[in-house]
Amino acid sequence: MSQTFGKTRWKRFALVMVPSIAATAAIGVSLANNALAASFSVSGQDFKVTVKDLTGEHFSQFGGVDFETNGTPHVVAISAFDHATLKGLCQSVKTNLGPLGYWTLVLNAGDGEKPVDAKNLLIDLNQLNADAEFTNINIGQDASTLGNKNGDAVDLVRKAGKLPTGDKGFAQAADVAHLTGVQQTAWATSAGTFTLNGLKLNIVKGSGNGVECY
């Protein structure tokens, strides 16, 4: 039986989605009007994300498995938001260029008056630290019962064949999720639309603290 709570606060909750943008895709698409059309993902490596403040509507989360192009599996928490706003977004992806050493692509957005805006957002993550507050959260729901009331993003997951079925599909859902001080690593992300206000993208020599987002 699932348990429903009016409002719950968890510090450093380890399996909550935080939206992020695949930096490799950001290089290859048009940045006109600061709008990125999804979907896109990072294949064969994870990436780091920090967010100062996130507010998301119609949150759902459940387990899954992602595969690299060589077949290597990665167990992930698949999370979905119908709509999310992010203040102080940073994403970084490091790459080993052999004799040139490590270089890191760093993307920043939403540091001004206008936050980053994301619609129909999906994220496959394996680690997250944050302070989190949930409104009307239901923990222990069967993932196969997630439906229209849980948002359009869940329907996208179902159409992609990634929504678990049967009594092994443990899930949780909330009307609203508010996270602050986010640090996350993820394998893949996609969205209907990302609007990146105040977008800044840099390629920096090196990796680790002081170069990557954290």
pLDDT at 4: 44
Return d(Cα 179, Cα 85) in angstroms, integer. 11
- pLDDT of 129 strictly over 80: yes
| Global pTM value | 0.77
* pLDDT tens figures, 71-95: 788 788 888 888 999 999 999 999 8
pLDDT above 70: residue 27: no
The total number of structural domains that make up the chain: 1
Q: Establish if 212 belongs to a structural domain.
A: no
CA distance 109 to 44: 25
What confidence score (pLDDT) does residue 181 get?
96
Q: Is residue 100 part of a domain?
A: yes
Render pLDDT for 46-68 as a digit per residue (tens, 0 to 9): 889 999 999 999 898 888 777 77
Range of 185's domain?
3-205
Who contacts 55 (Cβ-Cβ below 8 Å, separation ≥6)?
84, 85, 176, 177, 178
Q: Is residue 48 part of a domain?
A: yes
Q: Whose CA is closest to 212, among 108, 82, 122?
A: 108
Q: Is residue 213 part of a domain?
A: no
